[in-house]
């Protein structure tokens, strides 16, 4: 009898504790949620062959919190993203298992877009991966895209694309010569890349993130087209998007799926207050 009461009291206290406890855990900051992972060299040493699992687990964690950021964006929640922690995890993941494609893929899907000036670092990571995944055309393809889109280094981009073409045997890559990069607009290049990535994305959250980005770029492209037509007709740059609408070059202001507002920068380029990044406004 006393024991039963004691046990019920114990269960009661468990319920009383678990409710605030799990809500506290759910609301921990991403840096805390990501936790810490010992240096890859130590994990390797301690885990032996289990390190491949650890590598995958690190990717899973980053994926989870990247997914969390996608959700927060959709739900209009504002949480500062934790890129340094996530990039630490990814770099650990590839050091644990240099063949882990998911890690490279995730780096390409997230940091390179969302973290300013990260393309150089990511390309280093991709080049490191190319040493191992010698058969894989994705890595040079990513690196080529980054070189062109972010670094404006069209010659390296063409080199990487050539490598991708050789590995894949796909004629698409051969058309991506240095000249092409010079002539194509930046937005167009982005759309081209995302198109090919969206199809190959396995993870739904990554696909969602690509989809959102493509939508943003397409909408930006609409404005850019209007700006170009305006320039041709009026021989001056438009000052605002509203001007484009009032003069009939655009029927309505396209929506930025990142929740920002499109505007024209001084040199007539289309920008958004969201900077086309998850949580961009809060940064």
Q: Give the ranges where the chain is alpha helix by DSSP (H).
A: 2-26, 30-34, 40-47, 51-74, 83-96, 101-109, 111-114, 119-132, 138-149, 154-168, 171-174, 178-183, 186-200, 204-234, 241-246
Q: Is 117 left (phi over 0), alpha (psi -120 to 50) or beta?
A: left
Structural tokens at position 260: 């920002």
Nearest-approach distance from CB 63 to other proteins, in angstroms: 8
Return the range that interacts with other proteins (CB under 8 A); candidates 14-22, 144-152, 252-260, 274-282: 14-22
Greatest Cα-to-Cα distance within the chain, rounded to the nearest angstrom: 92
List the one residue from 183, 195, 204, 242 that touches other proteins (CB under 8 A).
204
Among 8, 32, 116, 182, binds other proteins (CB under 8 A): 32
Under 8 Å between Cβ of 80 and 277: no
Which of 57, 128 has the CB closer to other proteins?
Answer: 57
77 binds other proteins (CB under 8 A): no
Distance CA 255, CA 263 (A): 11
Q: By CB under 8 A, which span of 66-74, 117-125, 193-201, 235-243 interacts with other proteins? A: 66-74
Task: For residue 18, state whether it binds other proteins (rule: CB under 8 A).
Answer: yes
- Residue 26 binds to other proteins (criterion: CB under 8 A): yes
**Which of 8, 14, 116, 127 is close enough to bind other proteins by CB under 8 A?**
14
Q: Contact positions toward other proteins, by CB under 8 A?
A: 6-7, 10-11, 13-14, 17-18, 20-22, 24-26, 28-29, 31-36, 38-39, 41-43, 46, 57, 60-61, 64, 67-68, 70-71, 74, 85, 203-205, 208
């Amino acid at each position: 009898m006393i024991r039963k009461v004691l046990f019920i009291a114990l269960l009661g206290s468990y319920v009383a504790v678990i409710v605030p406890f799990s809500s506290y855990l759910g609301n921990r900051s991403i840096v805390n949620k990501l936790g810490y992972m010992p240096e890859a060299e130590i994990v390797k040493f301690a885990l032996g062959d289990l390190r491949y699992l650890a590598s995958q687990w690190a990717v899973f964690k980053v994926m989870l919190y990247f997914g969390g950021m996608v959700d927060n964006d959709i739900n209009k929640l504002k949480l500062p993203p934790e890129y340094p922690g996530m990039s630490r995890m990814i770099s650990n993941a590839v050091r644990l298992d240099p063949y882990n494609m998911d890690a490279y893929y995730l780096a390409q899907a997230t940091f390179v877009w969302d973290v300013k000036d990260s393309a150089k670092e990511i390309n280093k990571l991709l080049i490191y991966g190319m040493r191992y995944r010698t058969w894989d055309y994705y890595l040079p393809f990513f690196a080529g895209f980054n070189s062109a889109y972010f670094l404006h280094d069209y010659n390296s981009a063409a080199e990487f694309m050539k490598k991708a073409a050789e590995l894949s045997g796909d004629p698409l890559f051969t058309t991506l010569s240095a000249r092409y990069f010079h002539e194509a607009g930046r937005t167009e290049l982005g759309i081209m890349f995302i198109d090919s990535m969206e199809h190959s994305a396995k993870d739904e959250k990554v696909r969602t993130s690509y989809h959102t980005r493509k939508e943003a770029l397409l909408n930006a492209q609409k404005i850019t087209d209007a700006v170009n037509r305006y320039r041709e007709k009026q021989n001056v740059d438009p000052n605002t998007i509203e001007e484009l609408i009032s003069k009939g070059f655009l029927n309505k202001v396209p929506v930025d799926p990142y929740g920002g507002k499109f505007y024209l920068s001084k040199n007539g380029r289309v920008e958004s207050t969201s900077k086309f990044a998850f949580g961009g406004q809060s940064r």
